[in-house]
Amino acid sequence: MADELKDKIREYVVDEYVEEGEDIEVKDDTPLISGGLVDSFSMVSLKLFLETEYSIKIPDERATAEAFDTVNAIAALVREYADA
């Protein structure tokens, strides 16, 4: 599931947050929030996407800027709640 999961997250991030025509490569460790690609307000839609796509519930207190800052971190969070 690991690579598929990261690919899916990456695809969503690129589709939703990378500006049209902008040449940005989103790697597993690319800082999304601290790098200015995803603003902290948009974390809400990213969280809802993960919850809808993977039928999980991420508690608000875990939905921090740090936890959503890279594809790696997001994937780890999803795995944690998918396994719970």
Partner 1 sequence: MSNIGSYDERRNDFDWGQAREELAYDDAPTKNIAYFLAERNCERGLADKVALIWENAAGDATERYTFDEVRLYSNAYARLLRELGIEPGERVCIFMDKIPDLYFSFVGILKAGAIAQPLFSAFREDSLFTRLENAETTAILTMKKLAGRARRIRDKLPALKHVVVVDAGDAEPREGETYFDVYAAAPVKEFDIYPADEETPSVLHYTSGTTGAPKGALHVHGSLIAQYITAKWVLDIRGDDVYWCTADPGWVTGTSYGIIGPWALGATQLVLELGFMPERWYAAIEKYKVTVWYSAPTAIRLLMKEGADVVKRYDLSSLRHLVSVGEPLNPEAVIWSEEVYGLPFHDSFWQTETGCIVISNYPGMRIKPGSMGKPFPAMEAAVLDTKTFEPVKAGTVGLIALRPGWPAMFRQYWKNPEVYKSKFVNGWYICGDRATVDDDGYYWFVGRDDDVINTGGHLVGPFEVESALLEHPAVAESAAVGKPDPVNLEVVKAFIALKPGYEANDRMKLNIINFVRRKLSPIAMPREIEFMASMPKTRSGKIMRRLLKARETGEEIGDTSTLEDD
The binding site for partner 1 (CB under 8 A) comprises: 16, 19-22, 31, 33-36, 39-42, 44-45, 48-49, 51-52, 61, 65-66
Nearer to partner 1, 22 or 83 (CB): 22
Nearer to partner 1, 17 or 79 (CB): 17
The residue to which tokens 């690919």 are assigned: 7
CB of 49 to partner 1, least distance (A): 6
Cα-Cα-Cα-Cα dihedral sign, residues 1, 80, 82, 9: negative
Residue 26, token pair as written in the block: 């989103």
CB of 80 to partner 1, least distance (A): 19
Residue 8, token pair as written in the block: 């899916």
For residue 30, how many other CB atoms are within 10 A of its CB?
16
Nearer to partner 1, 4 or 22 (CB): 22
CB of 1 to partner 1, least distance (A): 21
By the 8 A CB rule, do 76 and 11 touch? Answer: no
